[in-house]
Amino acid sequence: MAAASIDSQKLGTYTDMSGFAGLRSAAQQDSKSALPAVAKQFESIFTQMMLKSMRDASMGDGIFDSQASNAYRDMFDHQLSVTLSQGKGIGIADMLIRQLGGTAQDSTSASSTDSDALAALSGSGAVSTSSGVSSPSDAESGLMSDLQHLLSRSARAASDGATAVAGAVSKFAPGSPEEFVKALAPHAIEAAKTLGVSVRALLAQAALETGWGKHMPAQGSTTSFNLFGIKAGSSWEGKRVNVPTLEYENGVAVRKKDSFRAYASPSDSFQDYANMVATSPRYAKAVGRGDDVKGFAKALSEGGYATDPSYAQKVADIANGPVMKQALAALKSLANLP
């Protein structure tokens, strides 16, 4: 199948996955001819990731934003990334084509600046090479394999229908423990390094406090991203939400309404938590516990972090339980994918 038979109209619409099927078939039969279309799709995926990172780094939702408007915005970003790549794009497609032995449009040779950028791209692992400059055929097969993997994941997400839309509506709305661990693992790793404790301990504590991300403190449509149930005392100068909570007084559960800290992102929640535990004399015995999950949680509880007498055991049970093990195994499997 020649590159001319690839339906560019279908590839120009992010919701039409049939175009990807045609592209995959064309790449398998004539990878050289399909290279320009493949490079554009790779650039489209990169652009969409860039737009998503930009949205996540914003100062927060506007007063007129809602789940519906955020969903339409995410749909717009997906289509925008595809449309941009179909034109001149941002240059990534041209660099890939030249690197893989093709001829980029509107360019007959790569400048020294492009060569430096390509070297950095290869070094970062975006195009896998075994020794310096690889032959075009080796690089092409690597690109095709990586792109097929990415497209397959996109196709599965699109086929999930309402589940995929629900995931696009919220910045952090894990539908399973696996998604919870996948989203929070990078933040948990950094916080664990600061505190000298197990990553599992922090993920388990966050899972206990939020029900695996499903029950964070929230007021109306305002989500707090408070993953550790940290209350907002008089010294807290940031945003807060007032919600009902369950406290234990003399071993008896009592319903109360309290004020909790609100953050702009899960990352901010982990950073504030790690800073609070690391600098508070009350929790000094919790720092540096290593893999002793129960000892870490017990030291927190004894310092007044939680009133539940079974808090330490609950954290340890989650950290060492089958659900956490399965979620971590899925994360390791994902990390090992090509």
Q: Which residues of 176-204 are buried (b: 16+ CB within 10 A; e: fewer)?
A: ebbbbbbbbbebbebbbeebebbbbbbbb
**Same-domain check for residues 53 and 121:** yes
| Mean pLDDT value across the chain | 72
Domain closes at, from 144, 169, 194: 169
Q: Do residues 144 and 201 share a domain?
A: no
Identify whether residues 112 and 7 lie together within a single domain: yes
Residue 210 amino acid letter = T
Same domain, 114 and 196: no
19-45, pLDDT tens digit by residue? 556 666 766 777 677 777 777 777 877
What is residue 279's predicted lDDT score, i.e. its pLDDT?
A: 95
**Residue 19, CA distances (Å) to 9, 13, 151, 295, 320 in order:** 8, 9, 11, 54, 44
Comparing C-alpha atoms, which of 14, 44, 20 is closest to residue 149? 20
Looking at the structure, tell me whether residues 315 and 185 fall in a common domain: yes
Instruction: Give how far the C-alpha of residue 38 lies from the chain's centroid of Cα atoms, to the nearest Å.
Output: 24
Domain holding 248, by residue range, is 177-335
Q: Are residues 200 and 97 in the same domain?
A: no
- pLDDT tens across 184-210, in order? 998 999 999 999 999 999 999 999 999
Final residue belonging to a domain, choices 123, 145, 169: 169
Residue 247 phi, psi (nearest 5):
-115, 160
Overall number of domains in the chain: 2
Domain end (from 129, 147, 169): 169
The set of residues, in sequence order, having a beta carbon less than 8 Å from that of 28 and lying 6+ positions away, is: 144
What 3-state DSSP class applies to 235? Answer: coil
Looking at the fold, whether 182 and 330 belong to one and the same domain comes out as yes
Of residues 199 and 49, the one with the higher pLDDT is 199
Instruction: Compute how many other C-beta atoms are within 10 angstroms of the C-beta atom of residue 130.
Output: 7
Residues 218, 224, 226, 227: what is their CA dihedral angle, to the nearest 10 degrees?
70
Catalytic residues: 247, 272
218-219 and 222-223 beta bridge pairing: antiparallel
